[in-house]
Amino acid sequence: MSFDLPIEPPARVTGWAGDRATGGGGTELPVFYPATGARISTLVEDDACAVDQAVIAAREAFDRGPWPSLSVPERMDHLERCRQTILDHVDELARLECAATGLVLRELRERHMQRAAYNFRFFAEFISQSAGQRWDQAPGFMTTVSRVPVGVAALIAPWNAPVALATMKIASALAFGNTAVLKPSEQTPLALARLVELLQDVLPEGVLNLVNGRGPVTGAALVDHPGVDLVSFTGGTQTGRTIMAAAGRNLVPCTLELGGKSANIVFASADIDRALDGALLGIFSNNGQQCLAGSRILVERRIFDDFVDRFLDRASRIRVGDPLADGTELGPLASAAHRDRVLGFVDTALADGGAVLTGGTRRDDLGEGYFVAPTAVTVPDNSARVAQDEIFGPFATFLPFDGEDQAISIANDTRFGLVSYIWSDHLPTVMSVSERMRSGVVWVNTPMMRELRAPFGGFKTSGVGREGGTACEAFYTEERTLTIPTHPPPLRKLGA
């Protein structure tokens, strides 16, 4: 079986430094269509010299260009044009994203691209409401605190939802007056390269730049660059450590949005139908590749067997296949290496005394693409590696629990702390469990409802810092305190 390509991508993909393509200079890297495994494009990797060009362009636009000192309405106009550009190109951007990620086209059109456009609207509206502070001191002094842009932001994005995640960074960095250099994952550069090209027509030169290539090459050159003033990173925990060390060497602030191993806790007091829908969405949406996946499904023992049976029945009916087909619910994983890593966890589960409940295999009947059957396992306890390691695929791990205390103890027994899900209609249970969750976000009776004004980020190794309205304002601005006498009092006269 073979599937049509969503779009004919450009033969070669390059970055942007100001008004021209970056110099490349590195290795040429293949880009594959995950649904067929076919090579569809070539990425020109940017070496340290090319990264330097992009940072210089961003530096120039920040130090000498109009962007940081535009009035708020002017900057809002630009952000609105960015939003409109995305909306005018939803189909093209979604198809390019599909071609590199294998994500379901319908989801990309209806959710990812709409979110990407909204990210620009959200931050345009946010800056229109931002206010500084003022204190009046006796006798006759006024002190104000204003927020000013920091400078050049390095923005590093992962491959699982490239446009949706990168636009959160781009929109927030630019809204607060910074300029930026974006580095997408080298696996999934297509839609972001096109988006940055399109945005060159609506942003002043050098405000948004793009470098391409592998993390340890291009990414490392970017975060190490002395012209970079702050780093915003979304990706794996191990890479986060490397990024934070580099930011530390240059003494620049960084935020890290990292991995998760989130508990999805289903109490017997839940609306079970809704909890079942939520559990399936929590682990199988976005092809199972999401930081906020509810990948450990903890179910109260007295409903465990029944809940698992119903879950398995639904999982076996999930439509796996062509990302372009309207009915598809689960597409291929993003790469062959990632598919093999995900399936490697089946042996890990068995070695730790677990059992495969469903899936655990490739879907070879769908051809050469990186398809995996929806998978669920159960393990003896939470110390099993599939209950501790982030798998980042359509792979659920089930564990039973008895009572609130045990649910909380299992949920928090992880080095991660990104989100938790609680399913119960019993308010005291919801309140006492949610208050004891060691995670940055708690969702009750709903999967993945992201409120952009609220901070999003993780406890423990799931991250450092937060993204969201006020959190982004704090990160992408410096506070400047100004004191001025309103009625200048006489000064003490030394030596008079």
Which residue's CB is nearer to ligand NDP, number 303 or number 386? 386
Please select the residue that binds ligand NDP; options are 206, 259, 332, 374, rule is CB under 6 A.
Answer: 259
Q: Give exposure, 121-160, as e/b (b: 16+ Cβ within 10 Å).
A: bbbbbbbeeeeeeeeeeeeeeeeeeebebbbbbbbbbbbb
Q: Catalytic: 390? A: no
**Locus of tokens 């915003």:** 232
Please select the residue that binds ligand NDP; options are 41, 85, 200, 234, rule is CB under 6 A.
Answer: 234
Cα–Cα distance, 149 to 130 (Å, whole number): 13
Q: Does 447 bind ligand NDP (CB under 6 A)?
A: no
The CB-of-173 to ligand NDP minimum distance in angstroms stands at 16
Please select the residue that binds ligand NDP; options are 13, 117, 291, 399, rule is CB under 6 A.
Answer: 291
**Locus of tokens 């291009």:** 218
Q: Catalytic: 257? A: yes
Site string for ligand NDP, 154-193 (x = CB under 6 A): --xxxxx----x-----------------xxxxx------
| Cβ-proximal residue to ligand NDP, closest one | 215
The CB-of-395 to ligand NDP minimum distance in angstroms stands at 13
Backbone angles phi, psi at 93, to 5 degrees: -65, -40
Please select the residue that binds ligand NDP; options are 236, 253, 367, 455, rule is CB under 6 A.
Answer: 236
12-13: strand order across its sheet: 12-13, 38-46, 25-33
CB 183 within 8 A of CB 218: yes
Site string for ligand NDP, 195-214 (x = CB under 6 A): -------------------x
Could you check whether the bond before residue 10 is cis, i.e. omega within 30 degrees of 0?
A: no
Q: Does 260 bind ligand NDP (CB under 6 A)?
A: yes
Burial bucket for residue 436 (CB in 10 Å: 0-12, 13-18, 19+)? middle
- Binding to ligand NDP (CB under 6 A) within 61-100 occurs at none
Helix (H, G, I), strand (E, B) or coil at 490: coil
Residues that bind ligand NDP (rule: CB under 6 A) add up to a total of: 32
Backbone angles phi, psi at 186, to 5 degrees: -70, -15
The CB-of-416 to ligand NDP minimum distance in angstroms stands at 9
CB 197 within 8 A of CB 184: no
Contact set with ligand NDP (CB under 6 A):
156-160, 165, 183-187, 214-216, 219-220, 223, 234-236, 239, 242-243, 257-260, 291, 390, 392, 418, 463
Q: Which residues are catalytic?
A: 257, 291
